[in-house]
A and B are shown apart, each in its own frame.
Chain A
Amino acid sequence: MADLGAMALLLGLVVSCYAAAASVLGEKMRIAELIVSARRSIYMTALCAAVASGTLIFAFAENDFSIEYVANHSNTLMDRAFVWVAFYAGNEGSLLYILLILTVISSISIWVAPTRLERSMPWTIAILAVIQLFYFAVLTLSASPFELMENVPEDGRGINPLLTHPGMFSHPPLLMGGLIAITVPFAFVSGALIAGNFGDDWVDVARVSAIIAWGVLGIGMLLGAWWAYTILGWGGYWAWDPIENVALMPWLVLTAFIHSIMVQKRRGMFRMWNVALLNIAFVLAQLGMFINRGGPVVSVHSFAASTLGMIFLSFMLASLVFAFALFLWRMPALKSDRNMESFMSREASFLVNNFLFLSVMAITLWGVLFPLFSDFARDVSVTVSAPYFDRANGPVLLGIVMMMGVGPLLPWRKASARSLKQWFIWPTAALLLIITFLVIAGIQRPVAIFAFGVVGFVAASILEEWWRGSYARHRNGDNWALAWWRLVNGNRPRHGGYIVHISILMIGLGIIGTNFYQQRTDGAISLGESLVIDNYRIQYIDRGDDSRPDRVAQWAEISIYKIEPSDYAYEFDLALSQGSNGFTLEDSTRRKNDKLIDTIKPWHGFYLDFNMASVRSGIRSTFIEDLYVIPRDFLNDGRVSLAVSINPLAWWLWASGPLFIIGTMIALWPQPAVETRPAKKNTKQSPAES
């Protein structure tokens, strides 16, 4: 079994070596057959990676504990569904998974690439082959998932308990897939630059592949946040952990790229800048790979600690040198076609937005690296964690959201004073109205109020444009829904973008709500007792055991009552005088206005082999607020120690996901005009080739 996988990897190594060499030689010596065979070699590597991956997954399914990787990441008690998760639960498997994705998307992108990129294809193929070669080499030489055990154990060690969550089926694969997918636009643009293809031929390919990588990465991060919210057991969803940061940084740069590439597509400007952005994103993705594989910074995601650090650091530095040497070499040829005409133009606003995105990236990078500087400069260890990033990045992120409202309202080229007034009056009114309303309503926290105002501003700007566009169509007899849909269809990149913007606003709402208005309390209660916070009373009804040989686990059944705080006025006063917002209640007889609204079953387990606790929070979610209950511990005296919080607007964080996907799909859906031309050429090309 293991031999088959190892052989497939070795074969992949040889074939990708050949692909790189054949492609370059074929181009240099003008031998078309060599280039074609290099192209087919890439398809071959995908087959090799698929065979290796299939072998490993099969070994997991068969409980083949003679393979060390299988023995370390699964056991017979494990739910069979998690075989897929176990595949990438460790270092070697996740590298194999990354390689699989890389080879498959390389093949697909080469397959569908338009013929006008023919001149640069040999170089693109060579770059893809070299990157594949690196992963094949690492997997063959220093991190093989097919190492055999000397003594075959009865049972495996089991899967990391934090990974046994539905979110884990998709979060890690999407994140790793998104990071590696940045290779594709990078390879196409670099290939074009080497070949001296300086026109805008690569724009569509780079834009589409970058949006795919960006969307996959974005959804991966959102799922990771959701996973953290429901399982990590501290009520947070984003900890600014180094591993999260290294996924966020390339995503931010890609976000800048997919905006500024539109300027190149529409106006022939920012060529140099777009190439630089892609280079930065690619190098940051390599930094992410490095920090994930035994990098020098402390992280909660310690699953992949290994000695591969130096190898990945070298590869990152090599890609940095390559990308920027190429950039500097070809820079003079990457001039813009046109001049900027005004500060008040969409091009200008995109440039400002780009620099704000880069600022957040640079601040985050600075925060990730600062502990190393401190160690080096003063020999004192410091920690840079969430409180730092919240404060340093928060204001810039708010600025970016603001630009999200301003940019789209500005026309290309130059805005006249009249159009500025026409377009900005409603969003500004929305901003002021919301702020006034919240202040009158007695809402605390000025910054949050301003932030809500900004969200309203952006939402109003989008709705305004949709309304005006739909109205024009509506006058001609379409109903509103159809009118809107035709508007969206008329310019999908733009309106798909707006839908994504709305999903970002929803995430913004969630972040503001949970960061500024969270309420918490905790306490240990016996069966029958209650905890009271704000207008909720939660009563501990029942408990049960869910232990297995590899874990000690219990669940609690908890009833949630909606209460009228005035019924509990005396207790609330008492609690407040002791400096607390909530309190425990021994006598849980129902009071007049108590209403049972839900029952939750939070769960707490301790995994002996891993010396690790894992929880499932009990969450009652509404779009106004989440009541969030974490079982911190089941005490020996029969009490359960609970941490309870009210997380306002948290629902919006997760509701944004589907909208994000829909918006991205709409933006990606080929425009009829653009679609027809390459498609025709493609059908001509493929048979000729094969």
Chain B
Amino acid sequence: MIATHTFPYRVRVTVLVLFTIMSAIVTEACVREEDISLEQRAYQLSGELMCPVCDGQTIDGSNAQIAVDMRLKVTNLLQEGNTNAEILDYFSDRYGEEILAAPTGKGFNMLAWIFPALIVTAALGIALYTIKHMKSSVLNNEPKSSSTGNISIKHTDLSEYLDRVDKDLGIKKDSTIQAKQEKEDEEEN
């Protein structure tokens, strides 16, 4: 088999489509303020603010007095017409950045958000590269079959699959699964 230097067209298209879908998801996952009632926005914001005196709980989940007060403050700020961003800023100015349940996308904190994107891109890149590499290099002792393609098509045909199912089920008397596997391998080589 000759090593191809680019990924097959359909792989590139698939990757592109997946990325578009994922970026759409990230965009949509952000709160769309105008669509929901003040009350629901208050709940969402409560989930974005940490309770200062409890370990690792948001004010939404805490019954501490300060959490109750902060929930009230969120409601008041919303009724005064503040946007979500303004309210989060209000609290982070007073309590420090620690009060936000997720880091902002600004400055150093941008790293928190860039890294996941890099990880996924790198992971998919490495995966696809590895597959390509494993396809093109002659790795070990097994002699390459000259007619892999044909056999594979036959191998993956529905009828072939159903035959295998029959064998699995013991309709066609065949030996164990392992023996079958070995037989298949022999057939191919």
Cross-interface CB contact of B37 among A241, A473, A580, cutoff 8 Å: A580
Q: Is A167 an interface residue (CB 8 A)?
A: no
Q: Are B171 and A239 in contact (CB under 8 A)?
A: no
A-binding residues in B (CB < 8 A): 7-8, 10-11, 18, 21-22, 24-26, 28-30, 37-40, 43, 47-48, 50, 54-58, 60-63, 78-79, 96-103, 108-109, 111-113, 115-116, 119-120, 123-124, 126-128, 130-131, 134-135, 137-142, 144, 148-149, 152-153, 155-158, 161-162, 165-166, 168-171, 176-179, 181
| Closest A residue by C-beta to B31 | A387
| Closest A residue by C-beta to B125 | A355
Given contacts A339-B138, A374-B108, contact A671 B177 (CB under 8 A): yes
Q: Is A383 an interface residue (CB 8 A)?
A: yes
What are the residues of chain A within 8 A of B162 when measuring CB–CB? 468-469, 472
Q: Is A3 an interface residue (CB 8 A)?
A: no
Q: Is A686 an interface residue (CB 8 A)?
A: no
Cross-interface CB contact of B56 among A236, A348, A385, cutoff 8 Å: A385
* CB<8 Å pairs between A and B, sample of 23: A242-B56, A339-B139, A340-B131, A343-B128, A354-B127, A363-B115, A363-B120, A370-B103, A381-B98, A382-B103, A387-B102, A388-B102, A388-B103, A390-B29, A411-B155, A413-B152, A446-B24, A447-B25, A473-B169, A491-B168, A580-B38, A581-B39, A613-B63
| Closest B residue by C-beta to A471 | B162
What are the residues of chain A within 8 A of B21 when measuring CB–CB? 450
Q: Are A355 and B37 in contact (CB under 8 A)?
A: no
Cross-interface CB contact of B112 among A236, A300, A384, cutoff 8 Å: A384
| Closest A residue by C-beta to B7 | A343
Given contacts A384-B102, A385-B101, A521-B39, contact A416 B153 (CB under 8 A): yes
What are the residues of chain A within 8 A of B127 when measuring CB–CB? 351-352, 354-355
Given contacts A241-B56, A355-B124, A673-B177, contact A335 B112 (CB under 8 A): no
A470 to chain B, nearest CB (A): 9
Q: Is A633 an interface residue (CB 8 A)?
A: yes
Q: Are A352 and B124 in contact (CB under 8 A)?
A: yes
CA–CA, A302 and B53, complex, Å: 13
Known contacts A337-B142, A468-B158, A487-B165, then 5 further A-B pairs from the complex at CB < 8 Å, ordered by chain A residue = A299-B55, A340-B134, A366-B119, A382-B109, A416-B152
A485 to chain B, nearest CB (A): 10
Q: Are A383 and B120 in contact (CB under 8 A)?
A: no
Q: Is A476 an interface residue (CB 8 A)?
A: yes
Residues 519-543 of A, flagged 1 when their CB comes within 8 A of B and 0 if not, give 1110000000000000000000000
Q: Is A490 an interface residue (CB 8 A)?
A: yes
Cross-interface CB contact of A342 among B43, B61, B130, B135, cutoff 8 Å: B135
The size of the chain A interface, using a CB distance under 8 A, is 94
Q: Are B169 and A396 in contact (CB under 8 A)?
A: no
CA–CA, A602 and B58, complex, Å: 22
Q: Are A388 and B101 in contact (CB under 8 A)?
A: yes
A256 to chain B, nearest CB (A): 11
Residues 458-489 of A, flagged 1 when their CB comes within 8 A of B and 0 if not, give 00000000001100110010000000001100
Q: Are A386 and B139 in contact (CB under 8 A)?
A: no
The 3 closest A-B pairs by CB, nearest first: A490-B168, A579-B38, A234-B61
What are the residues of chain A within 8 A of B123 when measuring CB–CB? 355-356, 358-359, 362
Q: Are B137 and A473 in contact (CB under 8 A)?
A: no
CA–CA, A383 and B124, complex, Å: 28
Q: Is A547 an interface residue (CB 8 A)?
A: no
Q: Is A442 an interface residue (CB 8 A)?
A: no
B147 to chain A, nearest CB (A): 12
Q: Are B157 and A383 in contact (CB under 8 A)?
A: no
CA–CA, A413 and B170, complex, Å: 24
Q: Are B135 and A362 in contact (CB under 8 A)?
A: no
Given contacts A394-B29, A395-B26, A416-B156, contact A383 B177 (CB under 8 A): no
What are the residues of chain B within 8 A of A672 when measuring CB–CB? 176
Q: Are A414 and B112 in contact (CB under 8 A)?
A: no
Q: Are A348 and B181 in contact (CB under 8 A)?
A: no
Given contacts A395-B25, A416-B152, contact A366 B177 (CB under 8 A): no
What are the residues of chain B within 8 A of A415 when measuring CB–CB? 152, 156
Q: Are B56 and A355 in contact (CB under 8 A)?
A: no
CA–CA, A411 and B164, complex, Å: 12
Q: Are B131 and A348 in contact (CB under 8 A)?
A: yes
What are the residues of chain A within 8 A of B56 when measuring CB–CB? 239, 241-242, 298-300, 385
Given contacts A352-B127, A385-B50, A390-B29, contact A380 B176 (CB under 8 A): no
CA–CA, A473 and B156, complex, Å: 19
What are the residues of chain A within 8 A of B97 when measuring CB–CB? 380-383
Please report which residues of chain A, range 391-432, place their CB below 8 angstroms from some CB of chain B when the two chains form the complex.
Answer: 391-396, 398-399, 411, 413-416, 418-419, 422
Q: Are A414 and B156 in contact (CB under 8 A)?
A: yes
What are the residues of chain A within 8 A of B30 when measuring CB–CB? 391
B41 to chain A, nearest CB (A): 8
What are the residues of chain A within 8 A of B178 when measuring CB–CB? 673-674
Given contacts A391-B29, A395-B25, contact A351 B130 (CB under 8 A): yes
What are the residues of chain B within 8 A of A142 when measuring CB–CB? none
What are the residues of chain A within 8 A of B99 when measuring CB–CB? 383
Q: Are B79 and A377 in contact (CB under 8 A)?
A: no
Q: Is A232 an interface residue (CB 8 A)?
A: yes
What are the residues of chain B within 8 A of A242 when measuring CB–CB? 56
What are the residues of chain B within 8 A of A582 when measuring CB–CB? 39
Q: Are B148 and A396 in contact (CB under 8 A)?
A: no
B85 to chain A, nearest CB (A): 14
CA–CA, A236 and B101, complex, Å: 15
Q: Are A367 and B139 in contact (CB under 8 A)?
A: no
- Residue in B56, B140, B166 whose Cβ sees the most chain A Cβ within 10 Å: B56
Q: Is A336 an interface residue (CB 8 A)?
A: yes
Q: Is A266 an interface residue (CB 8 A)?
A: yes
CA–CA, A392 and B169, complex, Å: 44
B165 to chain A, nearest CB (A): 5
What are the residues of chain B within 8 A of A578 when measuring CB–CB? 38
CA–CA, A366 and B113, complex, Å: 10
Cross-interface CB contact of B61 among A233, A390, A391, cutoff 8 Å: A233
- Residue in A234, A351, A671 whose Cβ sees the most chain B Cβ within 10 Å: A234
Q: Are B152 and A367 in contact (CB under 8 A)?
A: no
Given contacts A359-B119, A382-B97, contact A633 B63 (CB under 8 A): yes
Q: Is A341 an interface residue (CB 8 A)?
A: yes
Cross-interface CB contact of A341 among B48, B58, B148, B170, cutoff 8 Å: B148
Q: Are B108 and A378 in contact (CB under 8 A)?
A: yes
Q: Are B113 and A337 in contact (CB under 8 A)?
A: no
Q: Is A338 an interface residue (CB 8 A)?
A: yes
CA–CA, A620 and B69, complex, Å: 30
Please report which residues of chain A, range 311-359, place their CB below 8 angstroms from some CB of chain B when the two chains form the complex.
Answer: 335-343, 348, 351-352, 354-356, 358-359
Given contacts A363-B116, A580-B39, contact A487 B8 (CB under 8 A): no
What are the residues of chain A within 8 A of B29 when measuring CB–CB? 390-391, 394, 447
Q: Is A207 an interface residue (CB 8 A)?
A: no
CA–CA, A394 and B120, complex, Å: 12
CA–CA, A674 and B48, complex, Å: 52
Q: Are A383 and B101 in contact (CB under 8 A)?
A: yes
What are the residues of chain B within 8 A of A4 when measuring CB–CB? none
Q: Is A171 an interface residue (CB 8 A)?
A: no
Q: Are B113 and A392 in contact (CB under 8 A)?
A: yes
CA–CA, A41 and B39, complex, Å: 63
Q: Are B169 and A394 in contact (CB under 8 A)?
A: no
Cross-interface CB contact of B100 among A382, A392, A450, A673, cutoff 8 Å: A382
Given contacts A390-B29, A413-B155, contact A366 B116 (CB under 8 A): yes
Please report which residues of chain A, range 203-255, place their CB below 8 angstroms from some CB of chain B when the two chains form the complex.
Answer: 232-234, 236, 239, 241-242
